[in-house]
Amino acid sequence: MIIDAHHHLWDLSVRDQDWITDPPMGVIKRSFSAEDYAEDASGVSASVLVQTICVPEETPEFLAIAEQSPVISAVVGWTDLTSPSIDDALAALRDGHGGSWLRGIRHQVQGEPDPEWLCRKEVWRGLAAVGSAGLVYELLTLPHQLPAARKTVAALPQVSFVLDHCSKPPVASGDVDEWAELVRSLAEHENVTCKLSGLVTEADWKSWTIDDLRPYFEVVLDAFGPSRLMFGSDWPVCLLAASYGDVVYAAQELTSELSADERSEIFSGTAQRVYAI
C-alpha cells in the first residue's frame, strides 16, 4: 500500500499561482485537478493534499475537494499563524464543509526573508494553537532556516511537526555535510517527522539519477528512521523533473535494501499515524 503524503492541486481559473514563473516552470503553469491526480497516481491508496499559496480561501476549497475524493484522505491547509484569532480560524475550518479532513497547517516559511521567522513570539503562539487543535504543523524550510526550526520544535514539544522535502537539500551541487548536520540536529526531537519528497526538483531536472538522491535519503533515514519518514510525490511540482511513476520508482529503489516492515512504514505506516488516515 502507498499513501502519498504530499501532493498539490490548483485551478488557475480561480487564482494565479504566482510562484510559478516562466519559462523554467512552464510545464506546470496550468490547472491540476483531483481527477488529474487520480489518473497519474493510479496505484495510490490514499493521499494528503497540501496547501500551495498563503490565502485563506484555498483551505476550504481543498476540504470540499477532499469531501468528494475517494483518494484524498487528509488536507494540510493554511491560516495566519500570527493572527490573534487563530483559534477561531482553526475552529471555523474544522466546523466547515469537509472540516473533518483537516489534519495540518503549513506556511511558506521558505519565502520569509527573516531566517528566525519561526522563532517569533506570535508565531510560537500560533503554532501552540495548531497543536492544541490536534493538528500537525508542516515545516517548509530551506537549510539556512533549520536552526530556527530546531529552536521552535524544542520550545513546543507538545506540537507535532513534519519537515517537508527534507528541507530542500542542495542535491544539484552534491553538497551534503552542512545540510546533514542541521537535519540530524532537528531529528533529535521526537516530535518531528520527515517527508521523503521533493528531492528530484532539488537535483538537476534534466540529468538527475537515483544515485544523486541516495546520500540525502541515507541522511534522513539514519536521522529519523523509517517510523518517522514518509513518502510524498510532490506532484505536480515533481513534473518539472520527473513523472509520477519516476518518483515512486526512485523511492522504491532508494528503500530496496530495507526490510518489508521498514518499507511499509515509509510508504504508508508513518503517514497513517501522522495524519490519522
pTM above 0.95, yes or no: yes
pLDDT of 207 higher than 90: yes
Provide CB contacts within 8 A for 84, sequence distance 6+: none
Looking at residue 22, what is its pLDDT? 83
Which phi and psi (to 5°) does residue 75 adopt?
-130, 135
What single-letter amino acid sits at 158?
A: Q
Across 97-127, b (16+ Cβ under 10 Å) vs e yields ebbebbbbbbbebbebeeeebbbbeebbebb
* Model pLDDT for residues 146-161, shown as the tens digit of each residue: 999 999 999 999 999 9
Share of the chain above pLDDT 70, in %: 100
* Model pLDDT for residues 96-141, shown as the tens digit of each residue: 999 999 999 999 999 999 999 999 999 999 999 999 999 999 999 9
What average pLDDT does range 165-178 have in this prediction? 98
3-state class of 70 per DSSP? Answer: coil
Domains and CATH numbers, the chain: 3-274 (3.20.20.140)
